[in-house]
């Protein structure tokens, strides 16, 4: 869905930095992250485990306040800076304006109450509803999320539901107050593909039925390609590339994005003898190079990649930006060679 370029974005994150202090050392986790999400837009935040996706989400939700944590930057949401809000202000916003769902739905529910009761309570905390009115709405919501027999399912405890049903119940709870922004952290990672496909269908429908924007966090490039309007690729706590999903997948311009896409085994066409693998592993935060974080693994590393500071975003197309020195040096990567003409299985 094209985002309206005239209205300001729903969420505008600027220079977000998160660090932890561990044994007297400052560990930079997320560095200078900037992105925005438009009304009814789905933005995919994609990166490998440890790249800082969850930390980003938690920072936006005001959910990391452990000792030694330092968060800086700004995150403007409907005219206010989320990072400057007090705990009380943030709590008022959470659930009502911004809701979050997790990979493991068990973390969202307490085991001792039925899921229906917990969604009722969430509704009643933000709206003036009788218990009966709340339950009517709960059953309606569960039904809309594709839960079969919602009236009875509402009376069941979290552990009595399958993973897919729990995930739907959690989405129902997250949407109960019609939030403008839903942050979904790996919502389908623990699910089977056939159920994952159902939940992704649901995600895509949210913006039309609920007018919600979604920040979808995942490590799966396939999930991003099928679900997100725009994409932000994270590598070792830093933004590597961002753009409209269509453009980014057609012509990835950061060597990491390109190499990652190339390393995914194809489902059709000839099977390569060997996959074009990326050598090595992502660096730990404390071992992150001063220059480009991908330099130790990149095929194109050269002198200008190595000195600090890391490359900043270079614009390569409308809304398409790359944190790599190549485009600026007049050596952009070639287009991705994939056979979109081949029917996807």
Partner 1 sequence: MQFPSPTVQAAPPRSSSGATQPLLAVRDVYKTYSLKHGQTLRAVDGVSFTVMPGEVLGLVGESGCGKSTLGRCLLRLNDVSAGQIIFDGQDITRLPERILRPLRQQMQMVFQDSYASLNPRRRIGDLLAEPLRVHRTPDGRKHTPMAIAHRLEELMELVSLPRAALERYPHEFSGGQRQRVNIARALVLSPRLVVADEPVSALDVSVQAQIVNLFADLQKSLGLTYVFIAHDLAVVRQISTRVAVMYLGVIVELGETDTVLHNPAHPYTIALTQAVPRPVVGAPRHAPLRGEIPSPVNKPSGCRFHTRCPAVQTRCQNEAPTLTQIAPNHAVACHYPVLKSTHA
Ligand X SMILES: Nc1ncnc2c1ncn2[C@@H]1O[C@H](COP(=O)(O)OP(=O)(O)O)[C@@H](O)[C@H]1O
Report the residue number, 300 or 338, with the smaller CB distance to ligand SF4.
Answer: 300
Answer for the pair 253, 320: CB distance below 8 angstroms, yes or no: yes
Answer for the pair 228, 42: CB distance below 8 angstroms, yes or no: yes
Contacted entry of ligand X, Mg ion, partner 1, none for residue 65, CB cut-off 5 to 8 Å set by kind: none
Q: How far is the CB of 5 from ligand X (least distance, A)?
A: 29
What the block records as the tokens of 311 is 């490359």
CA angle 10, 195, 275 (to 5 degrees): 90
Report the residue number, 79 or 343, with the smaller CB distance to partner 1.
Answer: 343
Contacted entry of ligand SF4, partner 1, Mg ion, none for residue 54, CB cut-off 5 to 8 Å set by kind: Mg ion
The residue from 19, 34, 54, 236 that contacts Mg ion (CB under 5 A) is 54
Answer for the pair 274, 268: CB distance below 8 angstroms, yes or no: no
Answer for the pair 14, 75: CB distance below 8 angstroms, yes or no: yes
Dihedral angle computed from the Cα positions of residues 225, 223, 3 and 336, in that order, rounded to the nearest 10 degrees: -20
Report the residue number, 59 or 333, with the smaller CB distance to ligand X.
Answer: 59
Please tell me the distance from the alpha carbon of residue 193 to that of residue 214, in angstroms, as a whole number: 21
**188 binds Mg ion, rule: CB under 5 A:** no
Q: How many CB atoms lie within 10 A of CB 322?
A: 30
Q: Return all residues near 43 (Cβ < 8 A) that are at least 6 apart.
A: 35, 37, 213, 214, 215, 216, 228, 229, 230, 231, 232
Contacted entry of ligand X, Mg ion, partner 1, none for residue 345, CB cut-off 5 to 8 Å set by kind: partner 1
**32 binds Mg ion, rule: CB under 5 A:** no
The residues with which 244 forms a beta bridge, in sequence order, are: 230
Please tell me the distance from the alpha carbon of residue 304 to that of residue 193, in angstroms, as a whole number: 42
Query: Which residues would be at the binding site for partner 1 (CB under 8 A)?
Result: 48-50, 148, 162-165, 192-198, 200-201, 204, 219-227, 245-246, 249-250, 256, 259-261, 263-268, 271-282, 297, 338, 340, 343-345
Q: How far is the CB of 305 from ligand SF4 (least distance, A)?
A: 3
Query: Which residues would be at the binding site for ligand X (CB under 6 A)?
Result: 20, 22, 29, 47, 49-55, 66, 285
Report the residue number, 5 or 22, with the smaller CB distance to ligand X.
Answer: 22
Q: How far is the CB of 183 from Mg ion (least distance, A)?
A: 12
Query: Which residues would be at the binding site for ligand SF4 (CB under 6 A)?
Result: 254-255, 292, 294-295, 298, 300-301, 305, 311, 324-326
* Site residues, Mg ion (CB under 5 A): 54
């Amino acid at each position: 869905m094209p985002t309206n370029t005239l209205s300001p974005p729903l969420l505008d994150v600027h220079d977000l930095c998160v660090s932890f202090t561990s044994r007297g050392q400052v560990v930079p986790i997320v560095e200078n992250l900037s992105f925005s999400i438009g009304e009814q837009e789905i933005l995919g935040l994609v990166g490998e485990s440890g790249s800082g996706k969850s930390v980003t989400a938690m920072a936006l939700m005001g959910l990391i306040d452990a000792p030694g944590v330092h968060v800086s930057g700004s995150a403007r949401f409907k005219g206010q800076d989320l990072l400057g809000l007090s705990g009380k202000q943030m709590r008022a916003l959470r659930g009502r304006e911004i809701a979050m769902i997790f990979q493991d739905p068990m973390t969202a529910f307490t085991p001792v109450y039925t899921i229906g009761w917990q969604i009722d309570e969430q509704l009643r905390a933000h709206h003036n509803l009788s218990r009966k009115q709340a339950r009517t709405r709960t059953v309606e919501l569960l039904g809309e999320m594709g839960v079969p027999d919602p009236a009875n399912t509402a009376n069941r405890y979290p552990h009595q539901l399958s993973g897919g049903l729990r995930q739907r119940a959690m989405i129902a709870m997250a949407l109960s107050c019609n939030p403008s922004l839903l942050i979904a952290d790996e919502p389908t990672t623990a699910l089977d593909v056939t159920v994952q496909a159902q939940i992704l269908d649901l995600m895509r429908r949210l913006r039309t039925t609920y007018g919600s924007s979604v920040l979808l966090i995942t490590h799966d490039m396939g999930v991003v390609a099928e679900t997100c309007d725009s994409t932000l690729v994270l590598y070792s706590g830093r933004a590597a590339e961002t753009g409209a999903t269509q453009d980014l997948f057609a012509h990835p311009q950061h060597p990491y994005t390109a190499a990652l896409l190339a390393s995914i085994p194809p489902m059709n066409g000839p099977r390569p003898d060997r996959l074009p693998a990326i050598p090595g592993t992502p660096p730990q935060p404390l071992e992150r190079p001063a220059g480009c974080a991908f330099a130790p693994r990149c095929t194109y590393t050269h002198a200008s990649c190595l000195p600090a500071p890391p490359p900043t975003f270079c614009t390569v197309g409308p809304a398409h930006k790359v944190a790599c020195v190549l485009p600026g040096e007049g050596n952009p990567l070639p287009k991705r060679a994939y056979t979109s003409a081949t029917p996807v299985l």
